[in-house]
A and B are shown apart, each in its own frame.
Chain A
Amino acid sequence: MGVAVVLTAFAIVTDGLVYAAYLFLVAVGLTLIFGVMKILNVTHGSFYAFGAYGAAIAVGVYFDRGLPAAGGFLLMVLVAMAIGLVLGLILERGLLRLVYGKDEVVVVLVTYAAFLILEDVIQLIWGANSYALYQPLGVVGNVDVGPLVLSGYDIGLVAFAGLLAVAASFALKHTRWGRLLTVVIFDRELAAAFGINVSLVYTITFVIGAMLGALGGATMAPKIAVTLGIGVEVIVLAFAVVAIGGMGSVEGAFLGALIVGECRAAAVHLAPQIELFVIYAVMALVLVLRPQGLFTRAQPRKI
């Protein structure tokens, strides 16, 4: 009896961590873009989907050639970055530039329209087939912990998400570019007045956010069936995580991902029928208690 309880608890914690890693990977780009540009970017779901398709095909071909495994994982990251660069530049320079300064909600709708368009672009490029990227899971193998089997890829994913969180937080606080970003996050007009090229900061932030979204998709590709419509669900999940953590905060996204991940894992193991419900219930609860999310700085009341 006691052993079973411990095992379940262990399974909940590990499953929760893996799910949290996934959530953090998809949410960090979204929160960064929101923090700097104040745009709730629905196209983030498209970045995710493009990343997943790109990785599924490119990395699948790579592994089929029998090339060294480490290069496959590097390729995964490179594909995601390339996709993020192209898509991010097209969207920011071609579309969002036209609507800066409009109402926040209108800009959300613009990204929603772009999302609808990109959904069909995915279908035009890759068709309605489902792609599976199975090789990376096999290459890494499994780790036995007592009677439980952990996938090595999952452990890697958790480590990767943790590293990314530390790196993002460090970069924002301690590098020159990160500090410039932080200034723009605090006050855009003041930043411009001090000679920061805000328009350039916007472009770079959006591209980095797009890369992160695509990276989320690329790293998840081995674990899911890459098929049409995978972006739709990711958007609401990422929104939930970002809203819980506080929009625009990397630390918040980290904590939000952990909370949601663990809650969902607990629900899956203990009460499967509330699995979907629990994520949004947590989100609603946090918003009720702390309307701006967990990590937010005090906002002056502007008249």
Chain B
Amino acid sequence: MTLRSLVLGTLVFLLVAAMAPTLPVWLVSLATIALANALVVLGLIILWRAGLVPFGQALFYAVGAYSVALITRYTSLRDVLVLIAAGAVLSCFTAFLAGFLLARYREIFFAMLSLAMSMILYGVLVKTETLGSTDGFGVEPPTYIGYAPQGRMHLLMLFWLVLAFCAVAALLVSLYFRSVAGALAVPVRDSEIRLEFLGISVNRLIHLNLVIAGTLAGIGGALAALSIEHVDPNMSYWTTSGGFVFVMVLAGAGSVAAAFVGSFVFELLKSIAYDILPGTWQMFLGAALLLTILFLPEGIGSLFARLRRRRQRQSMSATP
């Protein structure tokens, strides 16, 4: 990460945080959900760099969401950081355990096994009364170190919290991409055998990536549960995972920022499509996905890169 993108990121963060109180309520709640989901997408980008696409990332998302929901249902703990920490730890642990199996698989088999795992959780959630069964259950509003905001302030506090989590995650993930382990992801995708000959355990590397992605998905799920104030088994269904993969393709694996922009664009597209074309919003989304794959295979993130390259080329041709 260059100093320039760090400064730029901080500026954007401060600007968005300062603007939030002036924005309409619908936009703030849409952005809250979009940013929470962006954390999951960020995890998917980490895996995609190593050539892996899980069709069951909703497993960790649901673990995070249900941890928060169950704690508010069965205990009197309400502090927001405690709730999210519980979601993060549990999803991290789930990913650590699942990783022992998943890390041995690649390509379509990896996608299928992770799908199976998330569907197991779905089967358990749907059939277990104490976990809310098919309808799920509500999530109590959290407190912020003893402060329990009301009405509009409640919405804003949550938005700032999600924004802060996203900023920290974006920073840490960019640092990770710069680290040795993070940089090795691309060679994993290109040629595993070469890496193995260098004495690097590809499975352990992938296991690490899985744990990071799973934890991010868990935090995203925890934040989403607080924002929607409800959890239900659909959070672990394959269509939820499919939605995350959709956003990842839309965003592209080019950069960390793309995950947030992509997720926001997706939520915006979804709600616009839902408003204008209530009967055919899925068709609209499907068409958007198709067009992205066909004409923008590197995602929205590649647009920035393309612009930058063009500007460089122009400045080069300007100075003979």
Chain A interface (Cβ < 8 Å from any Cβ of B): 40, 95, 98-99, 104-106, 108-110, 112-117, 119-121, 123-124, 232, 235-236, 239-240, 243, 247, 272-281, 283-284, 287-288, 291-292, 303
Contact = CB atoms under 8 A, between A and B. Distances in A.
B175 interface: no
B282 A120 contact: yes
Contact of B128 (A119, A239, A273): A273
Contacts of A274: 123, 127
Interface in B261-279: 279
A117 B283 contact: yes
A109 B289 contact: yes
B286 A115 contact: yes
A284 B280 contact: no
Interface size class of B (residues with CB under 8 A): 35 or more
A115 B126 CA distance: 25
Nearest to B122: A276
A239 B115 contact: yes
A90 to B, nearest CB: 14
Given A119-B282, A243-B112, A276 B290 contact: no
Nearest to A127: B279
B296 interface: no
A117 B105 contact: no
The B contact surface, by secondary structure, is helix
The A contact surface, by secondary structure, is helix
Interface in B79-129: 101, 104-105, 107-109, 111-113, 115-117, 119-120, 122-124, 126-128
A108 B108 contact: yes
Interface stretch (B28-36, B160-168, B238-246): B238-246
Interface string B242-259: 100110010000000000
B282 A116 contact: yes
Contacts of B111: 40, 105, 108
Contacts of A272: 127
B150 to A, nearest CB: 38
Given A232-B239, A280-B116, A113 B108 contact: no
B42 to A, nearest CB: 18
Contacts of A303: 191, 193
B272 to A, nearest CB: 16
A292 B113 CA distance: 11
What 6 pairs across the A-B complex have the smallest Cβ distances?
A116-B286, A276-B123, A277-B123, A120-B283, A117-B286, A113-B289
B107, B119, B287 — most chain A CB neighbours (10 Å): B119
A240 B116 CA distance: 7
A5 to B, nearest CB: 25
